[in-house]
Amino acid sequence: MRIGLIAALRPSEDGALRAAQPLAGRSVLAWQAGLLRSLGVERVLCLIDGATASDDILQLQHALEAEGVQFHALKGFAAIPALVRAEDDLVILLDGLVPDPAVVRAVIGGEGTVHRAVATIPADHPLAAAYPEDFERIDAARHWAGVLAMRGAAVQHLADFPADADAVSLLLRLALQAGTPCRDLSARELVPESWLLADSPAAVGRHETGLIARAAPPADWRAPTVALASALVRGLVPRGLSQGGLIAGGAALVLLLVSVMAAAFGFPAAGLALAGLGAFAARVSSTFSAIGTRLRREDRAKDSSAVLGGVVDAFAALTLWFTLSPWPEWQPLAVLGPVVIGLAKLAERGDRPALAAMARDRAALLLTFAIAATFNLLPETLGCLALGLLAALLLRRGPE
């Protein structure tokens, strides 16, 4: 069995626990647990004391157990030898450390065979110089980098030490005594953007800003509502809105359904405006999902942006249909709405970035149609746009 060990013991500069520091919508401790889960850990041990926030621990326990991972909160290390068998592998993360998962996998492997190793940094590394008590000295030239994977047999020796000793420091020494090889990390692998020690809110804030900026889709103001949705979500993620995507997705479906009803009963401008707002809410939901997937560095994207985009297009086409031909009338010109949505869908897949960006912005397109409907110019607007999109598609560059 692969077992993970984390801790919520050391305080940051402001007195709060490092492990409880909020980072991009979840605690540092939750980030560590997520990393261990991605490494194939089946049991997580967490060292705590009386000051540890019980809510954070309970939330983490429920989240891990929902994924089939055992969780044990331990006040002291006396129970660790009983929970780690000799044939097990123990993966240890430094208290308050959020390392780059790619670097960790390079050191100790992923969900397959574990590579037992002690990650090390040079003695002159800034982390070793600034935090010598955390990144402990191993020898004259190297310090511990905060990550190690060791064989469970050496863990049994913990029972020989007093209960007030530092469990992680002891395990590091036991791993080295057992002959666990060291893996030297280069300065390029341990840059501030990839190796965070949550020692202060300022350090966490800087890391959070960079983390979200790298995870967020690039803003392209040729698609204004898409860029606005990206900016909005970047501001909301640090507030911990873990259900933001679901809320926005639910709002999108409600708005789109109401837009069809409004258009069907003879309120064209209102229906199209509601459809535009629904498309914007759907874009917010997709952006939440995309950023969350990238932040967690999941191998399989769990967002539903493709499905939600198809739903938006279907409702937009239906709203345009009823706008041109309110229920129960039938006007042949009503087919122009679905035709325009279909042409926009084709254009966004083309090889012209500017055209693709504008065609992808379904909310801006629908809000433009709402303005046109207000001035009784919707059929003319749809006809001109259909001709323009058709010309762009016919004139696009073919395969070389």
Q: Are residues 59 and 197 in the same domain?
A: yes
Asked if residue 381 is part of any domain, the answer here is yes
Q: Report DSSP state, residue 217.
A: P
275 and 160 within one domain: no
The separation between the first and the last C-alpha atoms of the chain, rounded to the nearest angstrom, is 53
Predicted TM-score (pTM) of the model is 0.75
Statement to judge: residues 154 and 23 lie in one domain: yes
In a domain, residue 168? The reply is: yes
What six digits make up the tokens of 168?
Answer: 């992680």
Report the b/e string of 283-322 with b at 16+ CB within 10 A. bbbbbbbbbbbbbbeeeeeebbbeebbebbbebbbbbbbb
Picking from 91, 23, 15, 12, the residue whose alpha carbon sits closest to that of residue 237 is 23
Q: Which long-range contacts (CB under 8 A, 24 or more apart) does 215-224 make?
A: 215/290, 215/291, 215/294, 215/295, 216/287, 216/291, 217/287, 217/290, 217/291, 220/357, 222/354, 222/357, 222/358, 222/361, 223/357, 223/358, 223/360, 223/361, 223/364, 224/361, 224/364
Shared-domain flag, residues 24 and 118: yes
- Domain end position, chosen among 180, 208, 236: 208
CA–CA separation, 6 and 13 (whole Å): 20
| Residue 354 counted as domain residue | yes
| 285 and 194 within one domain | no
Q: Domain range spanning residue 273?
A: 219-395
Q: Is the dihedral of CA 376, 379, 385, 388 positive or negative?
A: negative
Q: Sign (positive/negative) of CA torsion 224, 227, 231, 233?
A: positive
Q: 236 lies in a domain?
A: yes
| 52, 153: one domain | yes
> Is the residue at 214 inside a domain?
no
Q: Which of 208, 240, 263 is the last residue of a domain?
A: 208
108 C-beta neighbours (distance < 10 Å), count? 23
Q: What percent of the chain is predicted at pLDDT more than 90?
A: 54
What pLDDT digit, counting tens, does each position of 120-156 carry? 999 988 888 999 999 999 998 999 999 999 999 999 9
pLDDT at residue 242 above 80? Answer: no
> Any idea what the CATH number is for the domain that residue 349 is in?
1.20.120
Q: How far apart are CA 281 and CA 303, in angstroms?
A: 15
User: In this structure, what CATH number is given to the domain that contains residue 15?
Assistant: 3.90.550.10
Instruction: Supply the pLDDT for residue 301.
Output: 45
Any idea which of 289-298, 342-351, 389-398 has the lowest mean pLDDT? 289-298
* C-alpha dihedral (154, 157, 162, 166), degrees to nearest 10: 0
| Residue for token pair 């030297």 | 184
Mean pLDDT, residues 74-96 taken together: 92
The candidate with the shortest Cα–Cα distance to 49, out of 17, 97, 91, is: 17
Is residue 140 in a domain? yes
pLDDT at residue 153 in the model: 92
Instruction: Give bridge partners of residue 7 from the DSSP assignment.
Output: 47
Residues 131, 255 within the same domain: no
116: tokens are: 């037992």
Where helices occur in 296-335 by DSSP H, the ranges are 305-324
Structurally, the chain folds into a number of domains equal to 2
Reported residue count of the chain is 400
Task: For residue 252, give Cα distances in angstroms to 232, 315, 332, 338, 359.
Answer: 16, 11, 29, 19, 19
Neighbours of 85 (CB within 10 A): 13
Q: Are 325 and 334 in contact (CB under 8 A)?
A: yes
Is pLDDT of 367 > 90? yes
Domain match, 99 and 241 both = no
Q: Is residue 326 located within the same domain as residue 382?
A: yes
- DSSP symbol at 334: G
Query: Is residue 213 in some structural domain?
Result: no
Q: Tell whether 177 is covered by a domain.
A: yes
- Percent of the chain at pLDDT > 70 equals 92
pLDDT digits (tens, 9 = 90+) for 161-185: 988 889 999 999 999 999 999 999 8
Q: Give me the mean pLDDT over the 82-108 stretch.
A: 91
Structural tokens at position 282: 């759907």
Same domain? 269 vs 192: no
Of 93, 96, 70, nearest in space to 83 by CA: 70
Residues 141 and 69 in one domain: yes
Same domain, 268 and 230: yes
Higher pLDDT, 25 or 168: 168
DSSP 116: -
CA-angle at 20, arms to 17 and 25, nearest 5°: 155
Structure confidence at residue 115 (pLDDT): 85
Single residue among 179, 208, 237 that ends a domain in this structure: 208
Q: What is the pLDDT of residue 400?
A: 40
pLDDT for 192: 65
Q: Is the pLDDT of residue 339 over 50?
A: yes
Residue with tokens 């006040």: 75
Instruction: State how far the Cα of 271 lies from the Cα of 257, in Å rounded to an integer.
Output: 10
The model's pLDDT over 293-324, given as tens digits with 9 standing for 90+, comes to 777 665 444 446 678 889 999 999 999 999 99
Q: Give strand ranges (E) for the chain.
A: 2-7, 22-23, 26-27, 43-47, 70-74, 89-93, 97-99, 117-122, 142-151, 182-184, 195-197
